[in-house]
């Protein structure tokens, strides 16, 4: 990685990476500065609207929340973006987080609607003393009617057009491989990782953040753009399951991947 330096009073100080004190610190950074989700991609000017932190996900439409997702965002293309945050020191980042995200994606896609997402956004804004109408108007920039925007959110949900984002200060190799593999398999659903590192000059508090995207390989870009054949056409479902199991070393997670894959393919993803 390139070295990072800070200049002050004509002196040069080398900045070093410092760990996050708690997972909540990284979660709050994403909530306050959604632009971090763009990472180092060409979409650095993309905008995200925070729907809610710790949003509940039910197992069925008539049941209470069973899971809690760290963040739900929607981007300017009305794509629901599910974000799960882990520190690299959390052992769950290597395997369990994949199973968690798959549960969130499969069940959220099934039980959420444009109405429920809109209600979550408005209720969250009201609880925090924010004007949800003004916030949405600023986000849309006068380029789209709010009702039309929420309709597009609902359509994307139905089509399986969602984004799954694994966030950490460092993405381990095992998770990186699964992210890249899954992103290369799905045309409409994007699966990416995001490393958000913080740096400080010696003896000072952290002042610099660096975010890097993982998973947008050339193959994934071609699949998303419709210029490459889907691998599913040459692989059997058993081949796919074994590949996921080999990459994660966990048959149970492979079965979850297969279930999400089935749901998304049925939705047209």
Q: Tell me: the pLDDT tens digits for 227-237?
A: 655 454 555 55
| For range 141-163, the mean pLDDT | 94
Q: Tell me: the pLDDT tens digits for 73-113?
A: 999 999 999 999 999 888 877 778 888 898 899 889 889 99
Three-state DSSP string of the chain: CCCEEEEECCEEEEEEEECCCCHHHHHHHHHHCHHHHHCCCCCCCCCEEEEEEEEEEECCCCCCEEEEEEEEEEECCCCEEEEEECCCCCHHHCCHHHHHHHHHHHHHHHHCCHHHHHHHHHHHHHHCCCCHHHHHHHHHCCCCCHHHHHHHHHHHHHHCCCEEEEEECCCCHHHHHHHHHHHHHCCCCEEEEEEEEEEEECCCCCCEEEEEEECCCHHHHHHHHCCCCCHHHCCCHHHHHHHHHHHHCCHHHHHHHHHHHHHHHHHCC
Q: Does position 125 have pLDDT exceeding 80, yes or no? A: yes
Q: Does position 50 have pLDDT exceeding 90, yes or no? A: yes
Domain count, the chain: 1
Q: Does position 38 have pLDDT exceeding 70, yes or no? A: yes
Q: Tell me: the pLDDT tens digits for 209-227?
A: 889 999 877 777 787 776 6
Structural domain harbouring 186: 4-267
């Amino acid at each position: 990685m390139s070295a990072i330096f800070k200049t002050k009073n004509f002196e040069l100080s080398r900045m070093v990476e410092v760990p996050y004190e708690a997972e909540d610190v990284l979660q709050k950074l994403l909530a306050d500065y959604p632009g971090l989700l763009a990472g180092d991609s060409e979409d650095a000017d993309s905008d995200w609207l925070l729907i809610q932190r710790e949003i509940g996900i039910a197992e069925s439409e008539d049941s209470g929340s069973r899971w809690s997702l760290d963040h739900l965002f929607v981007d300017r293309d009305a794509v629901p973006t599910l974000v799960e945050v882990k520190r690299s020191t959390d052992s769950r980042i290597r395997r369990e987080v994949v199973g968690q995200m798959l549960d969130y994606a499969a069940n959220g896609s099934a039980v959420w609607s444009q109405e429920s997402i809109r209600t979550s956004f408005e209720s969250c804004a009201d609880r925090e003393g924010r004007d949800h109408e003004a916030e949405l108007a600023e986000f849309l920039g006068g380029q789209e009617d709010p009702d039309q925007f929420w309709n597009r959110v609902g359509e994307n949900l139905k089509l399986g057009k969602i984004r799954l984002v694994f966030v950490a200060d460092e993405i381990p190799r095992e998770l990186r491989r699964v992210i890249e593999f899954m992103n290369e398999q799905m045309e409409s659903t994007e699966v990416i990782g995001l490393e958000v590192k913080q740096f400080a000059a010696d003896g000072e508090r952290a002042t610099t953040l660096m975010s890097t995207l993982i998973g947008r390989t050339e193959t994934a870009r071609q699949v998303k753009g419709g210029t490459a054949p889907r691998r599913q056409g040459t692989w059997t479902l058993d081949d796919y399951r074994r590949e996921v199991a080999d990459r994660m070393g966990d048959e149970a997670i492979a079965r979850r991947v297969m279930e999400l894959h089935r749901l998304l393919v049925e939705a047209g993803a």
